[in-house]
């Protein structure tokens, strides 16, 4: 409450300076050339432009900040943690001016609502679905993303094309601030983000997961695919052939797998299929394109399409 009050005071001082400059500029015109009706209309328009336009424009362009909030490290966000838009800024400002701190409400309902709400929301925040949070001043560190070993196969089968960058960044920001949130907000925001992300991804996890574990697994798989895409499209460099050359493999976002320790009496590793023909014919992965396995009738038409039900099983 004191921090928000100080930020509001800074904004009111800035608005007062702007109003003083505008009224000083229009003073001569209002006294000499303007009629009484025009004078009243201009005064009302200037007041509305500064008192409403300043907050709406600032919070829309800066995604939830005014000059006072910037100075004190505050930001307005939606209840799910995402950035506010024009409609949220407009609703908050109109209710701030005409309800929360209106001069005809001597009880200041905005202050009463903030004191009675656990998140310090005034009436404008309750109606707009927003909340004021304190920003971190230092650069935000990237949260540690990982996929548990028993969920790797599920993560690799995820469909992530519908997951937007905004929702992914909001989830990443939530994980980075996880330890700083209060327990109630931590659970509420995590469940809300997990619900939105689960609606944009498929299939569902094989077992019950907490919201942070689910978000971490989805974001880790998304990052792994982005790194793989960049590796295939990135520039090609000539390999280093010096005396200290060694094979290089990009680090896995899932972490390094543990090195298996052979036990006593373990058989030698399988050397691989023998070269040349085998008693069972050519292995399926060495057959040329369009070849049909031995002992089966040809079910391929002239265009090369397999008949229904005769396609080779590529996943066995």
Neighbours of 193 (CB within 10 A): 23
Contact at 8 Å (CB) between 208 and 96? no
Contact at 8 Å (CB) between 194 and 211? yes
Please give the pLDDT value at position 240: 52
Please give the pLDDT value at position 66: 92
DSSP 68-133: HHHHHTEEEEETTSPBP-HHHHHHHHHHIIIIIT-TT-TT-HHHHHHHHSTT---HHHHHHTEEEE
Report residue 291 as tokens. Answer: 């070849």
φ/ψ (deg, to 5) at 188: -65, -50
Going by C-alpha positions, the residue among 147, 118, 152, 116 that lies closest to residue 132 is 118
Report residue 3 as tokens. Answer: 């921090």
Report residue 137 as tokens. Answer: 């001043």
| Residue whose pair of structure tokens reads 């701030």 in the numeric block | 96
Please give the pLDDT value at position 254: 52
Q: pTM of this prediction?
A: 0.45
Please give the pLDDT value at position 278: 41
- Radius of gyration of the chain measured on its C-alpha atoms: 32
Please give the pLDDT value at position 239: 53
- How many CA atoms lie within 13 Å of 132's alpha carbon, on the beta-carbon side? 26
User: Residue 198 to residues 74, 129, 170, 187, 210: CA-CA distances in angstroms?
Assistant: 30, 22, 14, 16, 12
Please give the pLDDT value at position 136: 64
- Measure the CA–CA gap between 9 and 71, rounded to whole angstroms: 12
Q: Most distant CA pair in the chain: distance in Å?
A: 109
Contact at 8 Å (CB) between 71 and 41? no
Neighbours of 122 (CB within 10 A): 26
DSSP 120-167: ---HHHHHHTEEEEEPPSSPPPPP-----GGGHHHHHT-B-TT--HHH
Please give the pLDDT value at position 269: 47
Q: Which residues of the chain have pLDDT under 50?
A: 257, 263-296, 298, 300-310, 312-316
Going by C-alpha positions, the residue among 222, 189, 194 that lies closest to residue 82 is 189
Model pLDDT for residues 96-136, shown as the tens digit of each residue = 888 888 777 776 788 888 888 888 888 989 999 999 988 76
Report residue 11 as tokens. Answer: 């904004």
Please give the pLDDT value at position 247: 53
Please give the pLDDT value at position 61: 92
Number of helices and strands in the chain (H, E): 10, 2
| Partners of 75 in beta bridges | 133
User: Residue 129 to residues 63, 71, 79, 96, 121: CA-CA distances in angstroms?
Assistant: 15, 24, 6, 14, 9
Please give the pLDDT value at position 4: 87
């Amino acid at each position: 409450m004191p921090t928000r009050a100080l930020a509001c005071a800074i904004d009111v001082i800035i608005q007062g300076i702007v109003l003083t400059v505008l009224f000083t500029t229009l003073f001569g015109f209002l006294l000499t050339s303007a009629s009484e009706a025009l004078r009243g209309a201009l005064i009302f328009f200037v007041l509305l432009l500064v008192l409403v336009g300043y907050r709406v424009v600032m919070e829309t362009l800066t995604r939830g900040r005014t000059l006072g909030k910037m100075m004190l490290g505050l930001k307005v966000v939606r209840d799910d943690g995402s950035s506010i838009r024009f409609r949220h800024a407009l609703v908050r400002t109109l209710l701030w001016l005409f309800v929360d701190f209106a001069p005809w409400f001597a009880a200041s309902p905005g202050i009463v609502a903030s004191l009675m709400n656990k998140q310090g929301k005034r009436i404008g925040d309750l109606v707009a679905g927003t909340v004021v949070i304190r920003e971190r001043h230092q650069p935000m560190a990237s949260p540690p993303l990982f996929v548990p070993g028993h969920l790797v196969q599920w993560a690799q089968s995820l469909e992530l094309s519908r997951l937007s960058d905004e929702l992914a960044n909001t989830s990443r920001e939530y994980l980075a601030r996880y330890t700083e949130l209060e327990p109630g907000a931590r659970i509420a925001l995590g469940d809300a983000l997990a619900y939105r992300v689960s609606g944009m991804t498929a299939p569902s996890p094989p077992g019950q997961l907490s919201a942070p574990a689910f978000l971490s697994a989805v974001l880790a798989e998304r990052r792994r695919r982005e790194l793989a895409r960049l590796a295939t499209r990135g520039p090609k460099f000539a390999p280093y052939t010096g005396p200290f050359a060694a094979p290089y493999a990009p680090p896995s976002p899932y972490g390094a797998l543990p090195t298996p320790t052979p036990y006593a009496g373990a058989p030698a590793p399988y050397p691989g299929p023998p070269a040349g023909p085998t008693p069972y014919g050519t292995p399926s992965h060495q057959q040329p394109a369009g070849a049909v396995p031995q002992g089966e009738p040809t079910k391929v038409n002239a265009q090369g399409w397999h008949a229904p039900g005769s396609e080779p099983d590529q996943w066995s």
